[in-house]
Amino acid sequence: MDLPKLRRWPSHNCWFGRPYGPPIAFVVHTQSGGESGTVAEWLSSSSHFSAHYRAGLEGTLECWIDPADRAWSNGIVEPGNRWVAIAQACGVDPALNPNHVTVACETEDGGDAEQPVTELQYEALLCAATQAIQRYPDSLRYLVRHADISPQSRPGCPGDRWLSSGRFEALAHALGLKIVG
């Protein structure tokens, strides 16, 4: 299978560097709304939103924030989270903002939460996560849902399209990453 072509788009919505240590988790999101709205948010200096990668339904893979920097994508740790267990297992202060020790990828759903994950999208996400693991082979240990961090405000992220389809678990297995719960 051919690897997706990685397109790089610069967004300044990030913190530069990784002063709190390397990433411990790769976080999967489902993009809310359409591509144009997401791109507008990531290019706006006032939005305070970004992600390292975006995987499209047709297999496009975009890099918005270099994984050596910290994207603004994971929200806040909310009651009922699974993040604390992940942070503790990796020796990271659970009070630390997860954005400081994660790499994140938004996945397109075309505005339809029931949109199945395409094979091309799965391969694009696999490629992004593989690149992150190659860069951080000793620290990146978990595949995480956004809902694991923010279960109250993002309970459906990345959604059943990844979970009940078995794609999320298959991705973790293919990458050799742990999942929680």
70-71 and 14-15 beta bridge pairing: antiparallel
- Reported as a single tens digit per residue, the pLDDT across 35-70 is 555 555 555 565 567 889 999 999 999 998 999 999
Q: Helices (DSSP H) in 29-82: which residue ranges?
A: 35-43
**AA letter at 57:** L
Cβ neighbours for 16, distance < 8 A, ≥ 6 positions apart: 69, 70
pLDDT of residue 48: 62
Tell me the chain's radius of gyration from C-alpha atoms: 15
Domain 22-175 architecture: 3-Layer(aba) Sandwich (3.40)
Domain boundaries, the chain: 22-175
The answer to whether 124 and 4 have CB atoms below 8 angstroms apart is yes
- Dig out the tokens for 57 from the structure: 């339904």
- Reported as a single tens digit per residue, the pLDDT across 113-125 is 889 999 999 999 9
Confidence tier at 135 by pLDDT (50, 70, 90): very high
Token match 């939005």: residue?
47
Q: Is 64 helix (H, G, I), strand (E, B) or coil?
A: coil
**pTM beyond cutoff 0.85:** yes
